[in-house]
Structure 1
Amino acid sequence: MVATRAWRGPREAVGTRAWGDRRELLGFAAVGLLAYAVDLALFTWLRGPAALAPLTAKALSFVAGCTVAYAGNALGPYRHTRPRGLRPYAVFCAVNVAGAAVQLLCLTVSHYGLGLTSQRADTVSGAGIGMALATVLRFWGTRTLVFRAEGRVGSWTG
């Protein structure tokens, strides 16, 4: 008796795609956590023992974090896209700069626009709400603009 593969109906195809999307999101999150840890550790070291100025230290740690995130995504969740050249890295860095701008905008609106000036309010707006919105932007930008898979339309929903 020969085993034949049964026809996959629309529900099974959607389930398979949903699992792929979850794996992609989990891989993206894991790489992001690693990049964040590199950024934070390097910034702390550059500000402490290396005694660099705050903006110089942050700029260097940001570039290192972006590089780790790009390499992790290129070798991990998006390895099937095979990006080539410097253009994908440059676009990836631009998407991350846009994410950082979103975080700063949330903090600016909360602190200066709404007058919520406590440390807790700054943390919630910048590291909470701002980080959540920036992560959504980074995921969309990374998936849509940097690591486009063949046959996938620009949106992560389709």
Structure 2
Amino acid sequence: MSGIYDFTAMSLAGEDMPLKRFEGQVLLIVNTASACGFTPQYRGLEALQKELGPRGFSVLGFPCNQFGKQEPGDAKAIEQFCDSNYAVTFPMFAKIEVNGDKAHPLFRYLKREKSGLLGSSIKWNFTKFLIDRSGQVVARHAPTTTPESLRKEIEALL
């Protein structure tokens, strides 16, 4: 049976990053975009990272351009945007697809483990998957769910 740690994704810097590197941590995996109405959630995601990171938590950001073409930039543009606007310190990965035939295998797995309200497809940017320390997908949250509202759920897993 495959698990979250069996996957590898490319970092924004272009390096393969095995998710095994995050083994034993609580993770919040989010498909992100720089020009979305939900983009200010980067602020809340970064706050969670700073406050809970020392306890074994990490946000993993996966830019995606499939929804309204709201992530049009290349890796350098995404990195500059995240750094200059939100001082993002959590790991950001190369732009991926989350739905369709070209969906990243990680997101195929996440969707299989936790369907959304309207089925397995991801409906928009900033869909959030919460992963426990053993690598199990324990929750899926809609884009409208703010990072701040997840604090208690994350702390219960730490």
Structure number, greater radius of gyration:
1
User: What's the TM-score, normalizing by structure 1?
Assistant: 0.24
User: What's the TM-score, normalizing by structure 2?
Assistant: 0.24
Higher helix residue share: 1
Higher strand residue share: 2
